[in-house]
Amino acid sequence: MFRKVTDYWDKQADAIDNACQRLSPMSESARLQAIDEMQRAIERHFAVLDDSLAAQTCWIMVEDLYKSVTVSTYWNENLRLYIAATAGRYSALLSARGITFNFVINNEFEPTTFGMLGPIEVFGRWFNAAGFVYICPQQLARDRMAVDGHPPDAYEQQFQRYAAEGVHAAGRAVAQCHEESRHFVYFDADATTESLEQALSRHGQPGHVVAYRDAPPWPGTTSSVWPPPGIRWPGDGS
């Protein structure tokens, strides 16, 4: 059990990658026991946090997950298990407190099949394991391209034909998350004011923490946060 709950995801310490390396040589029974112990540790950490600290910790967690996934070079079962046992468990506990986290990312990526590999193929796996619905207009546009028979390497040539459909589908997904009070990460690599408006619309509303990142996921960068009424935030004077 780490001293601080944020240590489970600390990007500067490569916490996630190091944990997966420790899990790798274990037998299946030992690995499952380690995962169970991690979940119980997260529960113990969470139990001593008030709502404000619980929300702040979730923000730190999601920031570290995003900075980690952008430099990740693999996905495997150990990684899924670790993220689910730590971040996924934490997200579920936050939901049980009646707090929903919406993380909105406006970062440009190279609009090619290779450049969009992370946002389309990888990010969703990480954030889904962490208990978040992952919503990306470009991914949804690509999914529609596939339905129409376009191969993955046609992304750059075909994207503009499907961009508006992707934004519309993302808006529907956001509306469903709002209705069901589900955590989500909204990632847009080709954002406009209109495409971001709905994803950001719950800021200041009870029970919803909304964060917005338009800075690249580099060390030392962070996102803006709108906490709901009753949630204290560092620097807000409360």
What is the spatial distance between Cα 142 and Cα 105, in angstroms, rounded to a whole number? 19
pLDDT at 234: 87
> Structural domain tally of the chain?
1
What is the spatial distance between Cα 169 and Cα 72, in angstroms, rounded to a whole number? 27
Place of tokens 């994803």: 199
Structural domain of residue 89, as residue ranges? 5-226
**Is 238 within the bounds of a domain?**
no
**Is 236 within the bounds of a domain?**
no
**Is 234 within the bounds of a domain?**
no
Residue 104: φ, ψ to 5°: -115, 125
**Is 237 within the bounds of a domain?**
no
**Is 233 within the bounds of a domain?**
no
pTM across the whole model: 0.95
Q: Is 194:121 a contact under the CB 8 Å cutoff?
A: no
One digit per residue, the tens of pLDDT, for the chain of length 238 reads 799 999 999 999 999 999 999 999 999 999 999 999 999 999 999 999 999 999 999 999 999 999 999 999 889 999 999 999 999 999 999 999 999 999 999 999 988 888 999 999 999 999 999 999 999 999 999 999 999 998 878 888 888 889 899 999 999 999 999 999 999 999 999 998 888 999 999 999 999 999 999 999 998 999 999 999 999 998 765 5
Collapsed DSSP state (helix, strand, coil) of residue 209: strand
User: Strands 208-213 and 184-188: what pairing?
Assistant: unpaired
pLDDT at 133: 98
**Is 56 within the bounds of a domain?**
yes
**Is 232 within the bounds of a domain?**
no
pLDDT at 236: 65
CA 2: distance to chain centroid?
Answer: 22
Tokens of 234: 């560092």
**Is 14 within the bounds of a domain?**
yes
